[in-house]
Structure 1
């Protein structure tokens, strides 16, 4: 179908704007209550607005990628309201969307009290849309020529001026020229002229540190992600305003996605433009927000109670495993039963005591007339010799090399021991809650949330593990509730629970997304992120805690050679004491039985 020739002045102007500024657009959506003839060379969708289904109309074309708009409606405020809703519910994200709003009537009405630019630019959606252009009728003295003023909003600069209309240029239909040849989309996000950028965060070392002495940090703040934000505003000439979320910390999004609390909630509810402080690429948050490219790759693991030296009473049992002890006990009863059977079930020769004596290396003081008894005795003496030698060697090794309790090294270990692990917020398990693996589900069940003081108290009780982060430069993000004294009795786990990418969160289709991602990419290329992490760690983190965690797995490998003391052989004496008590009790019992037996015999004789 051939397009008709463009004859209307507004269409001539629109043709010029499209040619100069929208040739590279992937797809353009035209919403108009009246027919418009436009010479598009690329994809476009033409819609007749339906006030009742306007959100659905815009949503459908936006999901197709047609996210630049030309609007010619009687009430363009309805479009802005629907557009703002689509931004939040849609999946397509763009930082540089363009919106052109045309006058519904091409005739200038000097009696109208309405100021369309002021109405449109004062709406919430305009605050987060940099590329807006309004075409406004101009009162021209020449009736043969139409003139249009081209207006945009201030957007940059002080907050109280960002929604003010600013005049850009004027176009005349007779000359088909612009008066000033101005850039109709001047806000390319290269200079924000001091515009306030609100950043939601809270103190969490080494990402964000607030309330620092100004003698140390002139701005009173520092941290890897704080430096990213400060560098961003230095680059784009903006002003950082912090939105403190010390109470709710990371926060959460309400189930109906209408808002939230904490850093995440501040971004969702537009209380802040940027959200930082170790925010990971969580799926639920991505559904309602924009993410920058990853800044810091972090691995999440735990510091768990370090294994202690085994108690001395356990040392006599350590040369053999439990299965070996079961085999020894089975051999003892089997051999005793064999001797008892060979003696014709005569218990007067104490077969069980003889078998026990042979197993601990005692020789027999008399020969046995039966070859059956001699063969059982011979094999039992050989087995006893082997067992005694093996046990002695194992016991010597136990005394020589310190033995520790089994350490907690893996996720399986922490689940098997039902060990609690936790922190002050459940953000640590956001990345795990959607997992279908039984092991991960059990790990999530064992996570606990406690207050700062309770976590600090529990750090001395060896009753739980504490989640920490391994950072790219070799440092650790550890909660302040783990003190230098408590860390001495903890050990870093070998296995990581998971790893994540730290991002900067923004509202969907935020005008800052592309620029923040560009900056983070440059910081990666230059290696500044690793350098900043090291600088912040050396300057603000507890160096002794960092070293203790880093060396926690090697500190038990270095021991001192010392002579045996009573504590080392306490277990042997415990076994000896138990034997004495049992033997004395048995001897006294035998005396008691013998005494009563003789007494009965005397009474019987009398």
Structure 2
């Protein structure tokens, strides 16, 4: 009979081999290394042929900067001059995104909450952006508290894969994702099952796509708009029963019902016709175009975007 440690390594390696070869093969993947021996993986057999691996070890982050090909000192000084609060993990992720173009990320068990907080900042501090980020969170069954999955991150990101190893059968992996689509009142953070992988037989139960395209049909999800009445670009008409709602008002307050129109607003309306979304406006802090600061704070329209209170900002900003 094969030793348990060997079998665990074999099962994890088979799971990751399928993942890397089929879903992460053409991207640069950042792996946030866990020291937990339960995730013993033979990466030589799991690495994609066309992709690159960036290893980030939380235990020796500060010491690892001296080994980097790219010096982070200049970027660190730039961010600190803009009153940005940094820590070594955020710095390392920022560097990996900006210089190595990490698009996919793998984090393990207790490192997942730490990673989520760090990546939110690092992805903004980097001057490089990806349109195809993927996030893979790996853990053993019952090892994470449910509160982790209530984080705003699970509402904001569409390409999340959870790999949960069964405690009852070490060769069984439950594969899950977040709902993302649908009205926000129906909890886009909700986690649901995608498939199951049996590492003994090296096969899936259903053969599902582990990264379904949730952006093609948003199923009525609201896009939150920061804007003010600035005609003809944005026209806001408030009256009970109007098709949209201003989130500055309580959900059941008809004074917040608003019709949104204008040359810019129609671009967003066309987008929502194509991708089945709806538009809500939020004028909570909007009385001007405003300003956004590097430390992710700000004022008025641009401030709402920087602070994540809105997703789109319009009102002839290009002329301003």
CA deviation after TM superposition for structure 1 residue 253, in Å = 2.4
Q: Normalization by structure 1: what TM-score? A: 0.41
Q: Give the one of 96, 99, 108 matched to 1:61.
A: 96
Output the CA distance in 2 between the equivalents of 1:238 and 1:226.
14
Structure 2 spans left out of the alignment, 5+ residues? 1-7, 62-86, 245-257
**Structure 2 vs 1, CA of residues 164 and 258 (structure 1 numbering), >3 Å: closer, same or farther?**
same
Partner of 1:31, secondary structure, is strand
1:312-323 aligned at under 5 Å gives the runs none
Partner of 2:237, secondary structure, is coil
Q: Is the 8 A contact 2:301 2:313 kept in 1?
A: yes
Q: Is the 8 A contact 1:31 1:70 kept in 2?
A: yes
Name the count of aligned residue pairs: 264
**Structure 2 partner of 1:148:** 173
Q: Give the one of 135, 146, 157 matched to 1:99.
A: 135
Q: Is the 8 A contact 1:121 1:127 kept in 2?
A: no
1:101-250 aligned at under 5 Å gives the runs 101-103=137-139, 112=142, 115-116=144-145, 118-140=146-168, 146-160=171-185, 161-211=187-237, 220-244=259-283, 248-250=287-289
Which one scores higher on RCO, CA 8 angstroms, separation ≥ 6?
Answer: 1
**Structure 2 vs 1, CA of residues 193 and 247 (structure 1 numbering), >3 Å: closer, same or farther?**
closer
CA deviation after TM superposition for structure 1 residue 246, in Å = 8.6
CA deviation after TM superposition for structure 1 residue 40, in Å = 2.3
Output the CA distance in 1 between the equivalents of 2:196 and 2:272.
33
**Structure 2 vs 1, CA of residues 164 and 246 (structure 1 numbering), >3 Å: closer, same or farther?**
closer
1:16-415 aligned at under 5 Å gives the runs 16-25=18-27, 27-34=28-35, 36=41, 37=43, 38-41=46-49, 42-50=51-59, 53-63=88-98, 64-103=100-139, 112=142, 115-116=144-145, 118-140=146-168, 146-160=171-185, 161-211=187-237, 220-244=259-283, 248-254=287-293, 257-280=295-318
CA deviation after TM superposition for structure 1 residue 195, in Å = 0.9
Structure 1 spans left out of the alignment, 5+ residues? 1-5, 281-299, 301-427, 429-606
Output the CA distance in 2 between the equivalents of 1:129 and 1:28.
17
**Structure 2 vs 1, CA of residues 212 and 189 (structure 1 numbering), >3 Å: closer, same or farther?**
same
CA offset digits 1:562-582 (Å, max 9, x no partner): xxxxxxxxxxxxxxxxxxxxx
CA RMSD of aligned residues (A): 2.8
Larger radius of gyration: 1
CA deviation after TM superposition for structure 1 residue 158, in Å = 2.3
**Structure 1 partner of 2:14:** 12
**Structure 2 vs 1, CA of residues 9 and 198 (structure 1 numbering), >3 Å: closer, same or farther?**
same
1:408-423 aligned at under 5 Å gives the runs none
CA offset digits 1:228-253 (Å, max 9, x no partner): 11111111111210112796221122
1:554-565 aligned at under 5 Å gives the runs none
**Structure 2 vs 1, CA of residues 258 and 217 (structure 1 numbering), >3 Å: closer, same or farther?**
closer
CA offset digits 1:367-396 (Å, max 9, x no partner): xxxxxxxxxxxxxxxxxxxxxxxxxxxxxx
Which structure: greater strand fraction?
Answer: 2
**Structure 2 vs 1, CA of residues 173 and 249 (structure 1 numbering), >3 Å: closer, same or farther?**
same
CA deviation after TM superposition for structure 1 residue 23, in Å = 1.8
Which structure: greater helix fraction?
Answer: 1
Output the CA distance in 2 between the equivalents of 1:204 and 1:72.
48
CA offset digits 1:101-132 (Å, max 9, x no partner): 112x5xx5xxx5x545x333322333322111
CA deviation after TM superposition for structure 1 residue 189, in Å = 0.6
Output the CA distance in 2 between the equivalents of 1:200 and 1:247.
7
Q: Normalization by structure 2: what TM-score? A: 0.74
